[in-house]
Amino acid sequence: MADSLSSFNKKIAVLESSLSGPKLKRHMIDIGKMSKRVAFNAAQKDLGPDGEFSGWKGDLGTSFDHLSDGVISFKPKSKKSAGKWTTANDGRNRGMGGFAGPGVNRRTGLTSDSVRSGERKVQRQRKVKAKRWNGYTDGKGTADRAQQLIDKNVEKMNRDFVRAATKHLM
């Protein structure tokens, strides 16, 4: 009986070393690389072969950091990249109820307000012309779809990792 307990203890020690340390870190880095690949493929599907918005500077990049055993942080590479992911997912100028405040005439740079009598009068000239209105765009759900695919792949990768670690117990 003591012999079987000591052999079982050795098997548990091997299992523990298989599920922690450098092997776990390697597994987490593989998950991060897979996540980047899946996110880029989702962007390519919605935005074209380069996975970019045409006319926008910078890329739609992602990055990951290995924080500790079993923990990685997957995120957009920069604030600009986060804005692009949000636009690809939700669309442009969504959630806004139109312009707030006086209207701006792009051609003249003048603002106008309606007065109580219902007439409109020009109030003042703006020093800076209005931002060009580029309309609404519908979101494509790019980030949501990428997240679903990443979750699905992570489950499979974790299952395979644990299966490989417990193979010697059988």
- The reply to whether 100 and 128 lie within a common domain is yes
CA gap 40, 46 in Å, rounded:
10
Is the separation of the CB atoms in 135 and 92 below 8 Å?
A: yes
Report the pLDDT value the prediction gives residue 98, as an integer from 0 to 100.
47
- The reply to whether 16 and 77 lie within a common domain is yes
- The reply to whether 106 and 84 lie within a common domain is no
Tell me how many domains the chain contains.
2
What confidence tens digit (pLDDT) does each residue in 71-99 have? 899 999 988 888 889 888 988 876 554 44
- The reply to whether 77 and 125 lie within a common domain is no
Residue type, 151: D
Report the pLDDT value the prediction gives residue 166, as an integer from 0 to 100.
87
What predicted TM-score, i.e. pTM, was given to this entire model?
Answer: 0.71
- The reply to whether 27 and 78 lie within a common domain is yes
Is the separation of the CB atoms in 135 and 142 below 8 Å?
A: no
What confidence tens digit (pLDDT) does each residue in 10-45 have? 888 888 888 888 899 999 999 999 999 999 999 999
- The reply to whether 149 and 82 lie within a common domain is yes
| Low-confidence winner among 45-49, 70-74, 95-99, 159-163 (lowest mean pLDDT) | 95-99
CA gap 128, 133 in Å, rounded:
15
Higher local confidence (pLDDT), 70 or 132: 70
For residue 81, give its domain range.
2-91+140-169
Report the pLDDT value the prediction gives residue 122, as an integer from 0 to 100.
53
- The reply to whether 41 and 72 lie within a common domain is yes
- The reply to whether 7 and 62 lie within a common domain is yes
- The reply to whether 76 and 110 lie within a common domain is no
- The reply to whether 32 and 65 lie within a common domain is yes
- The reply to whether 164 and 107 lie within a common domain is no
- The reply to whether 45 and 128 lie within a common domain is no
